[in-house]
Amino acid sequence: MERLQKVMAHAGIASRRKCEDIIEQGRVKVNGTTVTELGTKVQSTDLIEVDDVPIYREEPRYFLLYKPKNTISAVSDDKDRPVVVDLIKDVDERIYPIGRLDFDTTGLLLLTNDGDFANLLMHPSYQVPKTYIAKVSDIPTEKGMQQLRRGIKIDGKKTAPAQAKVKSINRENRTSIIELTIHEGWNHQVKKMLEAINCPVSKLKRERLGFLDLGNLNPGEYRELTAFEVDKLRKMAEK
Q: Is 102 a catalytic residue?
A: yes
Contact (Cβ atoms closer than 8 angstroms) between residue 136 and residue 178: yes
Residue among 46, 102, 116, 213 flagged as catalytic: 102
- Amino acid letter at 89? K
Burial class (CB in 10 A: 0-12, 13-18, 19+), 78: exposed
Three-state SS letters, 178-214: EEEEECCCCCCHHHHHHHHCCCCEEEEEEEEECCEEC
Tell me the C-alpha distance between 190 and 125, whole Å.
19
Query: Within 13 Å, how many C-alpha atoms sit on residue 9's CB side?
Result: 18
Residues involved in catalysis? 102
